[in-house]
Every structure is written in structure tokens, then in C-alpha cells.
Amino acid sequence: MGFNNWNAFGCDVNETLIKETADALVSTGLANAGYRYVNIDDCWSLRDRGSDGRLVPDPVKFPSGIKGVADYVHTKGLRLGIYGDAGTKTCAGYPGSLGHEIVDAQTWADWGVDYLKYDNCNNQSDGTREDFVRRYTAMRHALDRTGRPIVYAMCEWGQSQPWEWAASIADLWRTGGDIGDNWPSLRSIIAQNATLAPFASKGHWNDPDMMEIGNGGMTGIEYRTHMSMWAVMAAPLLIGTDVRTASPETLAILGNRDIIAIDQDRLGIQGAIVSDDGGLMVLDKPLANGDHAIALYNSTDALATVGVPASATGLRRADAYRLQDVWTGEVRQAKNTIAAAVPAHGTVVYRVRPQHNAITVPPAVTVGAAMATVVPGPDGATLTTTVTNHGLGTIRDVRVAATAPAGWTVTASSSTTRRSLATNASLQTTWQIRAPEGTPAGHYPITVTATYRWGTRHRTATASSELVSTVVTAPADGRRHLSSVSPVRSTNARGPVEPDQSNGGDAPGDGALITVAGRLYTRGLGTTAPSEILYYLGGRCATLVTDVGVDDESVSTLPSTFTVYADDVAVAASGDVRSGEAPRTLTADLTGATWLRLVTAGSGAAPDGTTINNHTDWAAPVLTCGTAGPADPVLPTEQTVFSFETGTDDFTIANTADGGSVVQSEAFHTDGTHGLQVTTPSGGNWFGRTLATPLDLSGRTRLKFDVRTAATGTSGEIAVQIGDSFTWCQGGRWAWTNPNSSRTVTADFAELGCSGDVAMNPADIRAVWVFLNGGEVYIDNVRAE
């Protein structure tokens, strides 16, 4: 348990941050709750080793050196962690430890380091498991040789299935790629790590990565799921947000002693999957005092009742069971089913044990609800609610009510009461929900509450759930890129449907530019077959025109198919399409259709029995609605700033002393026939230029450019200078792109932080810059949207 700076700060790490974080861990009570390690990630050293071959802390970032910081952290009763890499360079281009294991381990030990995160970039590997074992074992031996106890955290991203071999080498090992501060990333990591319970044991942990709780990309429900599932999976708890400024809600999640106790239980058992069906998962984690932690996890996008028979868990048989909700503290009893109505993306964790004299404890009652999408107006939508008594004993005078937002109408069309409900009996009620005309598209809460009496004293109790309803409205007039229209729902064989890039894998944003038979597209929808995407049209749209094809990422010979449905009628179909074949153009007549559905198929079994899912692309899909005609511009429109069609557009280097060069090139282009080849120095540089006249981008919201990387990838950022003082405004992200791939790097104007508290002004841009590193890099089409 502890802290790592990377998720919140990236390379922006320094002595002040680490010391102030140590102070904050103590002052907030998090240290007392168990968060003891303060871990420094990448970018802490100089770019070159010292004359003695040792790593050198950056004297600007760490004027006291790492030893001075370690000494300070130790005075707080805490421990210090450091970052290294099992390659020639770290992921950010600083010296790696491959071939320097003994001297680096001793250096860290001499400084008083207590924890090592050991990464996997620039590893010079042949890709075999034997190489991974050799490289990571070399550091294990080097750490042992120092005689200092140092926690060893392998970070090879799960590439060689370390859970199968790393227990004799490391204390913990990463089981997948880097986490992102978004729901699709969290969901995919849970799905991967939860299956690995058999490989964890006391002192040897599956590591699903550092936590994102508090960084702002997810909801409170999703962050509680993050903490809940990490705890039940017996994962390391490494805070990845700024503890110094964390909100009360963030501190309450991170500091929940009950959930921490489950994570840190001395048995050290990772919770095992009891059931996993349709996005609803139940995990069971035995605890040292005989209790079991039961996690009821809902990865779907709707409220769902998640449950499991007690007999399917490791709980011993009993007449009833005591359920303590570790987030609310509420205690209930259940006869033979452990269940809860769990919100979308939510998790309920119960600490469960047999309950004696159960009738003295309130029964567990779930309130489930399901509802179709809502179209504003008189038709409305049907809501179905289900109240179920899971407790031992009958509940009486059961009543259910539903509450919608102000201005909505809620009308019951079946009974809302029941005189009694025995154990496992339910009251189901149907309602008609209507949203007024003009209600904007979005998500709206509907609360369902059941009241009832229980026990011999006929005490009154309530149970409630919140359903998030979806209001849909038809697209406005115009021709628009379909990737800019929000779907009602989507399903995909792997990860999320990706707007304007291919579907690279499980994590969001892990794809490249859509590429079909060598043709690049900056607009489209990347999917992995089988997939389905649903849009509400409301009878207002006329046509969809789109290219389709199997992305060049797919290497299988399996065919894929693309079908466009208007309501339930197929109005355009591709037939079989294979990898390497030129894109095909589909034109679909959508006249009068309420719903648009895009479906791809194309999966099969490989010779080794594994499943192959083709990467299927809807490339440059354009939807025409209302009064729009073929001559109208496609929205959102883009304004080219630099095209590189006639040369380098006078691109230069911001920090000339650091080096780099630019030249026009035909090797990569997404607009026209030319782009720019950039040779970057070690550590990177800013490339761009001061403009001859100020650029007015009023009405635009973001800047973008397309990039193709070489073998080491690049980190893409965007900056502008504004006003007479040429104030520098820079994107705050370290947007790492994959090696040997292409993608679009985007920075919203709202994300550009300006020096001196100056406000970003898109109307007065004096210079535009892009940050690149990684050797030879190609860019094109710097533009505003």
C-alpha cells in the first residue's frame, strides 16, 4: 500500500512533490490506514550515467538526491520506492538497468530505497519467455546481493504470463497494460486480473496496476468499484492521485478501513470468481476470521440484480447469513441467497458470516428495475420494478414507488403493493414513464423505493435503488461524421468501439489510425467482430455512406461482413471482406428509420484453438439528416493549420540546443500527398513555428495532428503561444503512442494550461508547437476542430 506519482503527474516528478506527498499521507490518516510506500516513477534521473557508471538523480528535480528524499520519507515512518527498467532505456528515455543490474541495485540500496518498480521498455528482447525470466531474474539476484529488503514489483505488462513463473522471483507482477482513468480501461483490467486468482498467494501478488481513484475520469460509483475489486482481488493499493489536494470523497474511498481490511487480510487469498454471466460477476474471498468477502460486480451499463446462492460460495451451511455492506455499514440477513441491486458499473461488497437468531436482524430486500430508452413526448417508455425478499422470514405491507425528474410523469399500470412477501418472493410492477417534449438527450435518474414491515415487532424499513434512464433525441440537420454522434449502446468483442481509430485491444484509446489496405482514415469507428452499434434517428435521416474493411492490424484470412440495418431491415451489406482487400463503399437508405444499427461479423478458431476476432472498420462514415444535401460540409468541420504540402511550412525547433531536424516527406500523409519527417533528439523537443500573423480559432475547441512513430514510439503533446507576450499554453498529458503505429493526437483548448495564470484565448494564437521524441517520427495535418 502506498503512492506512485505516475498516473497524476507523469514525468513531472520532483523532491517537493514526494516530500509533500509523504506529509499528506500522514496528515490525512492514510499512512495510519496502511499506505506506507511513497514511490517515485520514471524521469527522476539524468539522461546519462555518471563517470562511475551509476545512475544520477536529476539535481534540479532532486536537489537533496534520492538518499536525502529517502531519509526524509523514513522520518515520517514511511518507505521510499524508485523506478527502473529491464531495458537499455526507461519508457521515457532515461537510462535503463539492462546490463547494469548489480550497480543499480546497490545504488538504490545505498540510497535507502525500499521498493523497486521494474519496467519493460526498450528491452532488446527476442520475445521469448526465457528472455523475460533472464532479465527479471538478473535484478532479483542483484537486489538479494545488496542485503537490503526491497520490494520487487515486476512491470512487464503481462506479456509473458508472469503469473505462471514469477512467484519465485518477484513480490508482485503486473498482469496487463497500463491503466487509464476511464471506465473501459478499468473494466478490461478487472476482466483480465479476476481470472488469475489461482496464481496469487501470500507474498506473491497479481498486480492490476496503480489506482486512478480521484483523478477525475470516472464517477464515484466507478471509483468505489475500483477500490472494491482491487481489495477483493488482493491487489496492491497504490494511490495514483494528488493526495495533497484530494477531495473528501476521494479520501473516504481510499481510507475505508473495512475495504482495506479485506485487501490486507492476513490469509492473503485473492477472491475467486464464483459466477460470471452477462457482465455480472461474483467473487468470493475467504478471510482469516472465517468471514467471506463477497463482491457483487455489475460491469453493464444498467442497474442489475447480482446474486449468488450461499451454497455456491465457500461459506459453511447455515440457516441464514449476516451481510455487512462495507461501504454503507448497513447490516442485513439473508436466508440462502446473497444478492444486491447494483448500479451500472458498481460493486457491492458484503462481509458475510453465518447469522444466529436471524429474525432479530432486518432482512435483505433488493429493488431491481429495468427500462428501455426514453423518447421525449407522449409515448414514453416502460419501467419494470422488482422487489424481492431474500431474508429469513416474511415481510409485510410491501409498497413500491418510483420517482422521476421534475416535469416527468410516472404512472403505475400494475399493482404497487403486496400484503406479504415470503423468502425469495417478489413484487413486480409495471410503470409508464414520460419525459416532456424538448428534454435534452442524456442520462436521468429514476429512484425506486420499497417500504415494508419486518419481524415480530413489525418495524418499518426501506430499500431503494437508482436507475439511470437514457433519453434519446434524433440528430440535428446536417451531414456529420458518425464518429461524432453518440450511440445509444454498443457491443464489441474486445474493448470499446473506438471513434476515429482502430480497435487495438481491450483498453480505450489503444488503437491506431484506421488503415484498410494501406489507406489511412482519420475518421471512423474501429470495432472487433462481432460488434453492434445502435443509433437513434427518429425518422429524420436519409443516408449513411461509409467505407468498410478489415483493418491492416488483422492478419487472419477469415472473412468479415458489414451490414447496415434501418430498424430491423438490412439496407446495405458488404458480403465477405478479407484483410488486405481494398475498402468497399456502402450507401444505406435510412429514410423513415427510427433506429440505425451497424453490425460486423468475422471470428473463428485458430489452429491452436484460440479465438480470432477480426478488427473491422467503419471508415469515414457520414450520416445525412434533415434538410442537408450532398454539398453541405461534413460536421464537425476542421481548419488546416499546417499541411506540409508545399514544404516544411517553416517548422523549426523550439530548443535548438537539444537538436532535431525536419524535412518534407511522402512517407506518411493523411491529407494530400506529403507530411513531415521529424528526427528527434534523445528526450525529445518541441517542433513548430511562430506565425506571421495571429491565428483566430474562435469557435474551435481543439487542436489535432496525425503522427506515425518508429520502433520506440513517441509522446505527443500540443502547445500554443498566445497574445503579445507570447504566453506558453501547454497540454498537460503525456500521450504515449505505440511503436510503429499511427494515430491522432488531440488537445482540447480547455486542457491547455497557460503560464502566469493567463487564460487561454483561441482568438489570438501567435505560435503552434507539437512535442515529439523517439527518433524518427512522421507528422501531418496539424488542424483545429
**Active site (catalytic) residues:** 119, 178
Torsion angle (degrees, nearest 10) of CA 239, 241, 244, 250: -80
Residue 431, Cβ density class (10 Å: 0-12 exposed, 13-18 middle, ≥19 buried): buried
Q: What whole-number distance in Å separates Cα of residue 419 and Cα of residue 432? A: 23
Q: From CA 579, how far away is CA 557, in angstroms rounded?
A: 6
CB 660 within 8 A of CB 762: no
Q: Could you tell me which of 14, 20, 111, 23 has the C-alpha nearest to residue 63?
A: 14
Dihedral sign for Cα atoms in the order 490, 494, 495, 497? negative
Spatial contact of 225 and 261, defined as CB atoms under 8 Å apart: no
In the chain, DSSP finds a helix count (H) and a strand count (E) of 10, 53
The phi and psi torsions of 270 (rounded to 5 degrees) equal: -75, 135
Distance, CA of 641 to chain centre: 31
CA distances from 511 to 6, 132, 437, 535 (A): 22, 25, 39, 23
Element (H, E) at 777: strand 776-784
Location of C-alpha cell 521524441: 773
Nearest to 374 by CA among 434, 446, 431: 434
Residue bearing cell 532515461: 94
- The residues that bridge with 174 in the sheet, in sequence order, are 207
DSSP H helical ranges for 181-256: 183-193, 220-232, 248-254
Sequence-distant (≥ 6) Cβ neighbours of residue 392 within 8 angstroms:
319, 320, 333, 334, 335, 358, 359, 363, 423
From residue 400, alpha-carbon distances to 339, 341, 691 in Å are 19, 15, 65
